[in-house]
Structure 1
Amino acid sequence: MATKVRLLHERLAAVVSQLRHGEMVVVADAGSGTSPASLVPLSGAVEVIDVGIAPGLPTVADLVSVLWEVGDFEAAIVTEEMATVNPSGRRRVSDLVGDASVHELRYLPNFYRLRDRAKVFIQTGDYAVHGNVVLVAGYPSPPIPLAWLTSSTWFAELGEA
């Protein structure tokens, strides 16, 4: 009998169990700045969970695969540059979530803007270039359009149409 994957990290388990449709989780590399002094500061409203214990431990791929298995996610968002700069990382994301469920955004500023909309920002020990992945929580329903995920005004714009 196969062993069921569980999250042993208490806070990660709590966050994943509380995710609602459309909420986002950023799984980031060790170089992603989280302090107000960072080149691109992360909003203080976003919870940061640092799980990095040593260079390369854990990797973004390690964490994304576990989260995908234990949580209810419908999509992943990566940078457009990932396919060229980190093709093995891009392939792992596609293999895990399926090509149709992977969205790509321009690294700066579009991908970075999503960080401030995330429910949680999880920093790993990974040093992969363009290795960051945003997971979008979901459930069996029509997928949320990428335009809605990347716009803070999409709801108001629906009424204008």
Structure 2
Amino acid sequence: MAPKTRLLHERLAAVVSQLRHGEMIYVADAGSGTSSASLVPLSPQVETIDLGIAPGLPSVGDLLSVLCEVGDFEAAIVTEDMVTANPEARKFVSELVGEENVHELRYLPEFYNLRDRVKVFVQTGDYSVHGNVVLVAGYPSPPIPLNWLTSPTWFEDLPAAPPSTDPGSPEA
């Protein structure tokens, strides 16, 4: 019997076990700046976990494989440049979550803006070009629209529902 895959990193295991539908994990390469002095600083409100131990270790692919095996993820978001700059990684992500569940965004500013909306930012030792991936937590249900995931004001932008005509409704 093969051993069950599990996360050994205590904090990452806790985060994955607490993810709720629509929350996101940003799996980043080693070059993704996390300090306030970075070219595009990461919000100090976002928790970071640095797993990088040496160049290439772990890779983004290593971490994605484990996360998808132990967690519930309904989609992945990548840069639109990944398909040409890193086709092997793009194919890997597609095989992991299904092509219909891979969303592409423009690298700057849309993809980078997601960094400040994620539950946790996990930095690996990977040095791949356009290798970063955002995993969207979920379960078998209608997929969350990409414009909701990428807009911090999506809820305010929804049109107000018309008042109910049901006499038993609290709005009637």
TM-score for the superposition, normalised by structure 1: 0.98
CA distance in 1, matches of 2:2, 2:101: 26
Give the deviation of 1:39 after TM superposition: 0.2
Aligned residue number for residue 78 of structure 2? 78
What amino acid is the match of 1:6? Answer: R
What amino acid is the match of 1:110? Answer: E
**Larger-gyration structure (1/2):** 2
Aligned residue number for residue 60 of structure 1? 60
- 3-state SS of the aligned residue for 1:159? coil
Give the deviation of 1:4 after TM superposition: 1.2
Q: CA RMSD in A?
A: 0.9
Counterpart mapping for 1:139-150 below 5 A? 139-150=139-150
CA distance in 2, matches of 1:100, 1:65: 18
Count matched residues: 161
CA distance in 1, matches of 2:141, 2:98: 16
Q: Does 1:20 align with 2:20?
A: yes
What amino acid is the match of 1:141? Answer: S
CA distance in 2, matches of 1:13, 1:67: 9
Aligned residue number for residue 115 of structure 2? 115
Give the deviation of 1:158 after TM superposition: 1.1
Aligned residue number for residue 32 of structure 1? 32
Same amino acid, percent of matched pairs: 78
What amino acid is the match of 1:157? Answer: D
Give the deviation of 1:160 after TM superposition: 5.0
- 3-state SS of the aligned residue for 2:117? coil
Q: Does 1:93 align with 2:93?
A: yes
CA distance in 2, matches of 1:146, 1:2: 37
Give the deviation of 1:3 after TM superposition: 2.0
Structure 1 gap ranges (5+): none
Structure 2 gap ranges (5+): 162-172
TM-score for the superposition, normalised by structure 2: 0.92
Give the deviation of 1:159 after TM superposition: 2.5
CA distance in 2, matches of 1:49, 1:63: 12
CA distance in 1, matches of 2:101, 2:136: 10
CA distance in 2, matches of 1:129, 1:28: 11
